[in-house]
């Protein structure tokens, strides 16, 4: 999710102007913004707290001049994945802004945008869309809306729609935001780069990396031109990481790894190793290595990220992410006992930390799938899988694709337990949902379709099975069984042929007269 604070600060400066006597407050605020621009979120948060304390001591706890440092503080907490603190600071800023006698329609837009972001942080995408549409309508009603807000509202609404799988409207919103950015700030502005990055992310979400790459390349050129060659800025790393993901979608994994390593080097130089954003980039690099089959290197990267999380920000969303990625790496290597322990840790973390709750069904699915491979724990696999299906179905909005994936895992468990009557209906529900969400090309769709065909064969429904095999091909297990059947058929035919030849020769001997030597006269 793309986020910027510049528009908030610019708007607040216009709404709540500072006097000349407030130079100390102004100095603290500018230092806060400089630290945020450098990606030093912890230091920026401390500076914002100082600015807020000064404003509160001088003007009172409900004065409008508290809005700016509170928004800065909320952003710094968010970037450090301290969501509860971010929400408290943001809600206080919103309450003060709403009560301000100087509030205008633009202030209301600011309030609605921030509320929309809060809903997105909690995966409440329907509520986020509602708040952002209200902000968009208010902005449209203004005779001359602020250009920064015209960009910001459109990009936030496009991102919220993209995250719930609505792809048509966001393209128009981002296109209009890009037009405003180029007209108001220039084609090489940071606002234009942000809109181009949003456009690339939208195309990537639709699995169109070829269309995403030109936008991301242009955004990267803008960011690099605005950055120092000796010390690239965090925005450069953001685009490099996104472009690396785009190359990975195109299966250009070596290029993706190079881009991600460049992003990681910038993160480590500008933010340090023990930073939440650095950990995210480490994990992305690990994913690209894993896609290349470099499982040991991927495991080392995930362990590096996990160690940082355990020391610097335990019991957080980044730590849950590291646990999940490392567990997947071990699962891929068939180290199921180790993987299960990591997924159990992730499940416990998600159950106890509200900020990690959205990841709970993910851990439950992998935990159940891992238990299914462990004979002594196979009986425990069904419960977490059933719970994951329920949670995925109850999210806002529901996630039918993840429900289908989890049903496939549960169906495989029942197949392993020779309970085809329970496995068959799950595959029948899952395969159409997988096709709708992913198309018929990906391997997980083909595998599910082939498994369903095998079950139909075993149930004597050969016609349905053959129809599925026309769409998805024949499963490796069925191919193996058919090859074995052909071999045994050939062997049996050979034996029958030999027996037939032997019988023919025996009968022929019986019909021939006995041979005798002529008698000498």
* Mean pLDDT of the 307-328 span: 90
345 neighbors 365 (Cβ within 8 angstroms): no
- For residue 302, give every residue at least 6 positions away whose Cβ sits within 8 Å of its Cβ, in sequence order, or none: 282, 283, 286, 322, 325, 326, 329
Angle at 73 between CA 15 and CA 29, to 5 degrees: 55
pLDDT for residue 38 is more than 70: no
Instruction: Find the range with the poorest average confidence among 144-153, 245-254, 408-417, 482-491.
Output: 482-491
pLDDT at position 22 = 46
Give the integer Cα–Cα distance in Å for 292 and 348.
31
The residue with greater pLDDT, 274 or 262, is: 262
pLDDT over threshold 60, residue 480? yes
Give the pLDDT confidence of 488-509 residue by residue, as tens digits: 777 778 788 888 887 777 777 7
Residue 169 in 3-state DSSP? helix
Tens digits of residue pLDDT in 398-418: 789 999 999 999 999 999 999
Cα 494 to Cα 387: distance, rounded to the nearest angstrom: 55
How many whole angstroms from its chain centre is CA 191? 25
Q: Are 52 and 90 in contact (CB under 8 A)?
A: no
**Residue 379 reports pLDDT greater than 70:** yes
Q: What is the pLDDT of residues 429-457, one digit of tens each?
A: 999 999 988 888 888 899 999 999 999 98
Comparing CA positions, the residue from 41, 132, 50, 512 lying closest to residue 318 is 41
Model pLDDT, residue 19: 42
Q: Name the nearest CA neighbour of 89 among 35, 120, 53, 58.
A: 53
347 within 8 A of 304, measured Cβ to Cβ: no
Q: Residue 499: its pLDDT value, please?
A: 82
Q: pTM of the predicted model, to two decimals?
A: 0.75
Residue 176: band (very low, low, confident or very high) from pLDDT cuts 50, 70, 90: very high
Average pLDDT over residues 9-30: 56
In contact, 309 and 322? CB cutoff 8 Å: yes
* pLDDT-above-90 percentage for the chain: 45
Q: Which tens digit of pLDDT belongs to each residue from 273-301? A: 888 889 999 999 999 999 999 999 999 99
CA nearest 54: which of 93, 77, 94, 23? 23
Cis peptide before 460 (omega within 30 of 0): no
Q: What is the pLDDT of residue 34?
A: 78
Distance CA 139, CA 255 (A): 41
Phi, psi of 249 (to 5 degrees): -60, -30
pLDDT band at 389 (very low <50, low <70, confident <90, very high): very high
Sign of the alpha-carbon torsion through 279, 280, 283, 289: negative
- Condensed to tens digits (0 to 9), the pLDDT of residues 183-195 reads 999 999 999 999 9
Residue 7: per-residue pLDDT: 43
Distance, CA of 54 to CA of 172 (rounded, Å):
43
Distances (CA, A) of 430 to 168, 186, 361, 410, 460: 26, 49, 17, 11, 21
Question: Is the confidence at residue 377, as pLDDT, over 60?
Answer: yes
Query: What's the pLDDT at 15?
Result: 42
Mean pLDDT score across all residues of the chain: 84
Q: With bands split at pLDDT 50, 70 and 90, how would you rate the model's confidence at 227?
A: confident
% of the chain with per-residue pLDDT over 70:
87
Cβ neighbours for 372, distance < 8 A, ≥ 6 positions apart: 378, 381, 409, 412, 413, 416
DSSP string, 399-468: -HHHHHHHHHHHHHHHHHTT-HHHHHHHHHHHHHHHHHHH-S-SHHHHHHHHHHHHHHHHTT-HHHHHHH
Q: pLDDT band for 104, please (50, 70, 90 cuts).
A: low
**Residue of 150, 151, 134, 9 whose CA lies nearest to 74:** 9
Sign of the Cα pseudo-torsion (97, 16, 107, 113, in order): negative
> In whole angstroms, what is the distance from residue 90 CA to residue 97 CA?
11
- Mean pLDDT of the region 119-140: 82
CA dihedral 291, 297, 298, 299 (to 10 degrees): 140
Query: With 80 as the cut, is the pLDDT of residue 125 above it?
Result: no
Question: Please, what is the angle between helix 360-371 and helix 336-352, to 10°?
Answer: 150
pLDDT at position 74: 83
């Amino acid at each position: 999710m793309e986020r910027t604070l510049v528009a908030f600060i610019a708007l607040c400066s216009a709404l709540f102007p500072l006097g000349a006597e407030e130079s100390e407050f102004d100095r603290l605020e500018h230092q806060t913004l400089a630290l945020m621009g450098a990606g030093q979120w912890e230091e920026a948060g401390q500076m914002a707290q100082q600015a807020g304390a000064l404003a509160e001591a001088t003007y009172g706890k409900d004065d409008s001049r508290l809005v700016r440092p509170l928004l800065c503080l909320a952003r710094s907490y968010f970037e450090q994945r301290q969501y509860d603190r971010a929400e408290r600071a943001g809600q206080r800023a919103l309450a003060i802004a709403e009560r301000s006698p100087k509030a205008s329609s633009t202030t209301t837009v600011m309030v609605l945008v921030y509320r929309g972001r809060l809903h997105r942080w909690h995966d409440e995408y329907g509520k986020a869309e509602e708040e952002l549409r209200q902000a968009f309508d208010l902005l449209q009603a203004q005779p001359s809306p602020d250009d920064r807000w015209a960009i910001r509202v459109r990009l936030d609404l496009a991102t919220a729609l993209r995250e719930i799988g609505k792809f048509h409207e966001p393209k128009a919103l981002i296109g209009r935001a890009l037009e405003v950015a180029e007209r108001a700030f220039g084609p090489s502005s940071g606002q234009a780069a942000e809109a181009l990055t949003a456009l690339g992310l939208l195309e990537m979400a639709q699995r169109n990396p070829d269309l995403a790459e030109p936008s991301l390349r242009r955004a990267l050129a803008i960011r690099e031109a605005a950055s120092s060659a000796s010390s690239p800025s965090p925005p450069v790393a953001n685009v490099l990481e996104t472009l690396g993901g785009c190359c990975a979608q195109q299966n250009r994994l070596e290029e993706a790894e190079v881009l991600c390593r460049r992003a990681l080097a910038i993160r480590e130089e500008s933010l340090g190793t023990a930073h939440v954003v650095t950990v995210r980039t480490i994990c992305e690099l690990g994913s690209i290595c894993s896609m290349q089959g470099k499982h040991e290197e991927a495991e080392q990267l995930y362990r590096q990220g996990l160690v940082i999380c355990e020391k610097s920000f335990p019991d957080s969303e980044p730590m849950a992410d590291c646990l999940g990625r490392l567990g997947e790496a071990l699962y891929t290597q068939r180290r199921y006992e180790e993987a299960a322990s990591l997924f159990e840790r992730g499940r416990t973390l998600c159950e106890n930390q509200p900020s990690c709750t959205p990841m709970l069904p993910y851990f439950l699915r992998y935990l159940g799938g891992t238990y299914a491979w462990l004979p002594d724990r196979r009986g425990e696999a069904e419960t977490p899988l059933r719970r994951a299906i329920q949670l995925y179905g109850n999210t806002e909005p529901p996630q039918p694709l993840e429900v289908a994936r989890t049903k496939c895992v549960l169906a495989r468990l029942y197949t392993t337990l020779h309970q085809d009557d329970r496995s068959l209906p799950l595959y029948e529900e899952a395969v159409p949902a997988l096709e709708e969400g992913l198309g018929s090309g990906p391997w997980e769709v083909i595998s599910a379709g082939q498994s369903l065909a095998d079950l139909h064969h075993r149930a004597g429904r050969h016609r349905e099975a053959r129809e599925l095999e026309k769409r998805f091909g024949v499963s490796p297990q069925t191919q193996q069984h058919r090859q074995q059947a052909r071999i045994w058929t050939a062997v049996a035919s050979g034996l029958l042929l030999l027996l037939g030849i032997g019988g023919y020769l025996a009968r022929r001997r019986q019909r021939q007269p006995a041979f005798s030597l002529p008698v000498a006269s």
